[in-house]
Amino acid sequence: MTLICPICDLHRDIDQQKKYEIYRDDLWVLRHHPAPAPLLGWLLLDSLRHCSGPIDFSANESSNWGIAVRDACTLIKQLTQCDRVYTIAFGEGAQHLHLHLIPRLISNPATKAWCIADHYRSVDSGKSPPVMPDQLNEFVVKAREIKGTVFHYS
pLDDT digits (tens, 9 = 90+) for 2-25: 568 999 999 999 998 999 999 999
Residue 152 has pLDDT above 50, yes or no: no
**pLDDT mean over 125-154:** 84
**pLDDT mean over 21-44:** 96
Angle between helices 133-147 and 59-80 (to 10 degrees): 120
pLDDT band (50, 70, 90) for residue 82: very high
* Residue of higher predicted confidence among 46 and 94: 46
Predicted pLDDT at 11:
94
The percent of the chain in helix, strand and coil, each rounded to the nearest 5, is: 45, 15, 40
Chain-wide mean pLDDT for the chain? Answer: 92
